[in-house]
Every structure is written in structure tokens, then in C-alpha cells.
Structure 1
Amino acid sequence: MLRIFVSLIFTCLIAGCDNAPVPEEADRRPVKLYTVVTGGQARTYEFPAIIEASTSSDLTFDVPGKIVRLTVDQGDFVRAGTVIAQLDQTIARNQLVQAREQYEAAQDAFRRADALVGEGAIPRAVHVQRETQRDTARAELDNAREQLEKTVLRAPFSGRVARRLTEPFEYVSPQQPVVTLQTAGSAKAVVQVPSSIVANAEQRAPINAAIALDSLPDRRFAARFGSFATDATRQSLTYEATFLFDPPSGALILPGMTGTLHVELDTDDAEMPAVPLEAIVGRDEKTFVWRVDRRTGAIALRRVTVGKGAGGMLPVTAGIGRGDLIVAAGLANLEEGMKVRPYERD
């Protein structure tokens, strides 16, 4: 009797072990999960940059002539007002002497007429004629002085001579470049921005920007947005943008140097939820995400409305909110009500 009772107990124990439930975790589908956050998170972009002077100008004469004096060479630093070059002034000086003599004669004739007209010795018409001749002579004298001044080329701003394009005793025409002058110190980084970022330019604004030069890789210089071209380049279909920066003293920054511009962008929809592009499910021209029940792990297809985004994130205007848990990767063959668990690498 005792033997039968022990056998029954042993049999029940075996049966109980065989019918023990398998841990539920093993039945869950491993997926990559993502907790929805706001979309206004900054992202840093890197663009190859070419350094240019913030201001560059080809200096020219307004009159033709032979260069008799050229005071600068490439690389020289000059201050605003410094004489860069001078043309032969022989003709201009002769014209100035003649204009001065004609003006002095006209002025004397007008003074005599002014005295005589008061005595009634000459008609008033003669007085008016002498006045007109004096004014004309004065205008010609002013023009002669201006023509003489045009034979001297001065630096319009302080900067460095990037190129010397002529030589002494060379004959130059009006508007023919003599030297190229570029501002020293302040510079600009020119970059090409892809259309994918330009398309969302109204939603994204630069927060921080810095330029790192290839010649000075361990240093970064703070930069600020300068300008943006609205026409794409024909070869690369990108848009040119410039960022200005002021190198510190002691750092030799020259136009033509290369570097990398680091730009941190933010969106103006900082409170709007955003999800990874890979989390979006498209069906019948509608967009959905798999929302995960945090308590049970079960998934449900939730329709969402998304806006335009950049950097792999899409803002969501309706359907889910901040803090929701969704499936971000491993979406293949998911079904409504299926239970999932976070994917963990071995």
C-alpha cells in the first residue's frame, strides 16, 4: 500500500514538471525599440570648405596710361589709402596747368564785368556771358584735378595683396586689373550644401558653427552664417553657403586653404514628436508605426501623420506622442497583437 502511494506521488511530480509553462519571453519577437522624443534635437553636419577672403577686389585705373610706379608685391599688407600704383602724369599735369590758367583768366574777366555792369558801362548780357565762362572754366579745372587724381591708385581698404597682375612701365587700359586686394583677418568658409538639407532650410537654423582648417586640424574657429545662394551649381546640384569667421592673431589664414565646417542645426518644431524614418510603415499611401504596449509587449498598428524632416528623423504631427514606445527596426512579418521584446546582440 505504501509502495502504491509513493508511486502515485512520483507520477504526479513528473506530470507537473512536463506541464510547466515555457517562459513567455522566449516567444516574443526580438525587435529594435525606440521611445518617441521631441523632434527639436540638434544634429551636427560636416561640409568640406574652401577659405576665401571676406572681401576681395581687383583694383583698376579709370584712365589709360603707363605705370611708372608700383609700390607693392604679392603678400604685402597695406592700409587703406596707401598708394598702390601711379601712371605717367605728364599729360594730366599739363591739362591741369592749362585749366587753371583758363579759370584765372575767366575769373578776372568776370570781376571786371561785375564792376562795369554796376556803372552801366556794359550791357547785363555781357555780364551774364562772363559769369557763364567763369563757371565753365571752374568745372574744367575741377575735372582736370580729378583726372590727375585718377592716375594714382590707392587701397580702398586695409588688406593683403593676393596677386600683382601688372609690372612697372606696362601700359594699362581703363578697368584693367592691376592688383587683387583681399581683407586680412576676417575670412569666410565657402561650402556646398546638399538639396536634402536645403529643402528643410526653413525648419532648420544653425545653432553653432565652427571651421577646422586642414593646416590647423587641432584648432576650431567659431563661425557665423553669412549668405546662401538660391541657385544650385550645375555640376553637383548643391547650393553654395558662406560662413564668416575671425582667426585669432598669430594664425595665418590665407584664401585657398581648405578645411571642414562643422554646423549644428536645430528645428523650429522643438515640441513636435519625431520618429526614425525606418520606423514608418507605408500602406495604401498612408503611414503607420507599430506602437508597443509597455505592459504586455503587444504591438498595434497606429496611423500617423508625418511632416518633412532631415537627418533620418521625421516629425509626427498626429497619431503618437512623446514617450510612446514603437518598433524602429525588424518590422518584417509583424502582425497585429504580436508580442515583442528588445533586440539584444549576443
Structure 2
Amino acid sequence: MRNARFRMMARLFFAWALWGLAGPGICAAETFPAIVEAKDHAVLSASREGALIRFEADAGDTVKKGDFLAMLFHRDLIIQKKSHDAQSAYWKRRVKEISGLNRSGFASNEEIEKARIEMISNRSQAEIIDSRIKASKFYAPFDGVVVRRLVRPFEWVEPGRPVIELYSRNRLYFAASLPSKLAVGFEKGKSHVFFVPDIGARITAELSVSEPLVDARSGTIKTYWRVSNSRQAAESGLLPGMRGVLSMGPVRSEAPLSRIK
């Protein structure tokens, strides 16, 4: 009993000594959760209906801007375009022929105008079909990595259906919601270090921008840091969606004595 009381008194004395040395609080680093985001992130969706007959990229593949990724069936459209191109070329010749006859008095202006309308109509139809053919193909909008394919090969898709998702490794950011009193004092371009538990790495990022709005409920400002060396970060395994920790300190915390062991 006496030994237990002695240990309790010794612990209280030790806590009192720490309180006196540290001032009104114990020095500790204040931490804030952050999440990794990709600045360039895209979900490519179908702009026309059709069967997805070809995939050239799969999840995890690295692609360059302009690389061909996938294609909808459009052979029927190619046949239709060729037909309208041929009709347009035919009526173009007819306009020339009828115009010659008109100058000789063997054809009316109405006949010329009718031939010209047919030529323009077929040319317009060919251009519309050509735009649908182009919409059948999907290309990478930037250098990046394919995240996932959202449809299966030979699956029918409707306009607006997401087909493939990708992001760029070259522009990764950390995003965190910070207390407004802290965020407004940050200097743009200043470097901070984030610890990412998933890969056990510390990643340096530069303050990029803070949203010019304080969340009324939490009193925080959404703040973004650009990863300083995206290539090195990618090689270390940093991925969008990973969570990191921003340490800001040391700061003083009013920790109760009962928590000191």
C-alpha cells in the first residue's frame, strides 16, 4: 500500500516538474490529415451509342498525350460517309454540267439550284457522319496512367457512359482543411513535409493555393500543396487517394496530468 502511494506521489512530482519546465502546456506537433489528389484527372465518356470493340490500354498502363485508347464500332458509319461523299462528288459534277447547259439555254436556274442543294446536303451529311466516326475513338488527353476500364470489351454503351479513367503522375497535390487562423498566415511557395503511412515516406510539397472561402461549420480553409518532385514521389509509390499527415509544430497543448505516464 505504501509502495503504491509512493509511486503515485513520485509520478505527480514528475508531472509537476514537467509542467514547470514546459510552461502552461506540453510541447507537441499539431497534425492535420491530408489526401493526395491528381491535378489532371479525367474520365472519358462516350458521346455516341455503340459497341466497344477495341481496347488498347488497361489499368496501370502508362500513356502519352494523344495515344489511342479505345474504339466503338463504326464500320457502318464509314460506309455511310463514303456513300454521301460519292453523292456529293456526283452532284458537284452535275452543278458544273448544268451550269454549262444553262449558259447555252438548255437548263434553267432552278435546275442548277436543285443540283447545288443536293451537293450541299450530301456534303453536310458526310461531315456529320465524320464527326460521329471521330467520336467513336478515345485518345489520352494528357501523359498519364490508366486507372481503370469502366466497360467490358464488346459491351454496348450509351452517350454519357464513362469508358476509361486516367490521371497524370506529373501534377500530384496534397489537399488539407486547415483552421482559418493558421491557413491565412501561410506563404505561397513555402515547403512543408507530409508523412504518408501507406508508403512510409516523407514527401515535400510547396504551398500552391488556398481556397478564398472559410467553411462556416468547421472554420477551416481548403489548402493545396504541389508535390515538389512528382517523378520521385511516383517512384516511391505515391498515388492519388493516399492519406498523408501534415505536422505543424511544435505547438502548446493543454494535456491533463492524468495522461502522463
Q: Same fold by TM (over 0.5)?
A: yes
What CA RMSD, in Å, does the superposition of the two structures yield over aligned residues?
A: 2.9
CA shift at 1:191, angstroms?
0.6
SS in 1 for 2:231: coil
SS in 1 for 2:230: coil
Alignment correspondent of 1:50: 35
Alignment of 1:175-324 (within 5 A): 175-197=160-182, 201=184, 205-206=187-188, 208-214=190-196, 215=198, 219-228=202-211, 230=213, 232=215, 236=218, 238-245=220-227, 246-249=229-232, 250-261=235-246
Structure 2: distance between partners of 1:84 and 1:256 = 24
Alignment correspondent of 1:90: 75
Structure 1: distance between partners of 2:114 and 2:246 = 69
Alignment correspondent of 2:148: 163
Deviates more, 1:125-134 or 1:54-63: 125-134
Alignment correspondent of 1:109: 94
Alignment correspondent of 1:123: 108
Structure 1: distance between partners of 2:216 and 2:42 = 23
Q: Percent identity?
A: 23
In 1, are the aligned partners of 2:88 and 2:123 still within 8 Å (CA)? yes
In 2, are the aligned partners of 1:211 and 1:259 still within 8 Å (CA)? no
Which protein has the larger Cα radius of gyration, Structure 1 or Structure 2? 1
SS in 2 for 1:141: helix
In 2, are the aligned partners of 1:54 and 1:244 still within 8 Å (CA)? no
TM-score (norm 1): 0.56
CA shift at 1:58, angstroms?
0.6
Question: Aligned in 2, Cα 1:131/1:73: closer, same or farther, shift over 3 Å?
Answer: same
The runs of 5 or more residues in structure 1 that have no matched partner are 1-43, 265-310, 313-346
In 2, are the aligned partners of 1:213 and 1:257 still within 8 Å (CA)? no
CA shift at 1:187, angstroms?
0.5
Decide which of 39, 49, 58 is 1:64's aligned counterpart: 49
Letter in 1 for 2:222: E
Structure 2: distance between partners of 1:231 and 1:95 = 56
Question: Aligned in 2, Cα 1:248/1:147: closer, same or farther, shift over 3 Å?
Answer: closer
Letter in 2 for 1:120: G
Deviations 1:182-208 (A, max 9, x none): 01222011111223345xx3x653451
Question: Aligned in 2, Cα 1:227/1:60: closer, same or farther, shift over 3 Å?
Answer: farther
TM-score (norm 2): 0.73
Count of residues in correspondence between the two structures: 220
Letter in 1 for 2:206: A
Question: Where is the strand percentage greater, Structure 1 or Structure 2?
Answer: 1
Deviations 1:122-174 (A, max 9, x none): 22333233223212221111111111121111111111111221110111111
Which has the bigger relative contact order, CA under 8 A and spacing at least 6? 2
CA shift at 1:76, angstroms?
1.0
Structure 1: distance between partners of 2:55 and 2:47 = 16
Alignment correspondent of 1:151: 136
Structure 2: distance between partners of 1:233 and 1:61 = 39
